[in-house]
Structure 1
Amino acid sequence: MAKAREKGKIPHGDWSAIRTRHAAGESLASIARDYGCTGPAIRYIINRPTDAPASAGDAQPDAAPAPAATPPAPAPARETAPPSSPPTPAPGIDPELRWRVSSEIASFLTVFDSFLTSDSPARYDELLAATDRLMRVAARTHIELERARAADQRARGAKAGPRA
């Protein structure tokens, strides 16, 4: 008789990477395969409020630790989900921009780590797509900063008034 799979929890440090991967369009099944669990276990993590700590009694019946052959990406230093009260952005900056930047950075790191463990043709395509998304959000950030700077310079010029 085959030995039953040992059940366990996915570490909380991996939850933000899971949310990021899902937000980037990766399917629940694909993420679940990487963690050796089911899609509903991943859906549980995605739907759980980001600021609510899990109690010791919250069990994920189908969740198991990530397989040793494909270690999960390290958790980003900052939370990648949108904060409950986002910081006030500079005037002219899209308030969702920080979340988009954090999400794409975490997504890129996840795909990059996955590529390092297996450089299959599919992984190349995934890494190229993640690189493109990261470059797009970096370009959007640059555009937003240039617009904000120009607006700030116009406002300062208007406050100074005409010189005699």
Structure 2
Amino acid sequence: MGVFLTLLAIFFAKIAHVSLGTLRIIYLTRGKSLSAAAVGFFEVIIYLMALNMVLTNIDQWYNILVYGLGYAAGNIVGGWIEEKIAVGIVHAQIITVQNGGTLEELLRDQGYGVTSMPCYGKEGAHRSLQVLLKRKEMPEFNKIVKAHDPNAFITIFDTRTSMGGYFARMKAK
């Protein structure tokens, strides 16, 4: 294999390795260990192939440089993949200064399970709305909330697992 093709192979193998590593960690943190194991299998094979190409020609500094560049690019690609696949569920907490009833009803009409409770802040009484949703639904969910209440304070929490309730019934459909 020529020098240029070797450099390309190292670069793209390292991107694949690091991206798969990101995906594997996401699956592990979401409790999907079988998926993580499958991804890890391919991750380590690609890693060994890339490392072998570098170590075989360790005297060629540009192989090491490209290996590092591939690693850096792999982090960017891995982050992009993570956002696109959006595995798992999140807990959204919305603090609204409005009465809360209309936003609460709107979210329910859109199919979300909403738990509502009064809360108090520096400026007085508010409503706290709690919603579990799929991560993939976040952009649309945020649009709905912000269109109805541009001043709403939204906090998103990663949720490893949930049991029972309205969300469980929605997942079963």
TM-score between both structures, scaled by the size of structure 1: 0.26
Answer 1 or 2: which has greater strand percent.
2
TM-score between both structures, scaled by the size of structure 2: 0.25
Question: Which structure has the larger Rg over C-alpha atoms?
Answer: 2
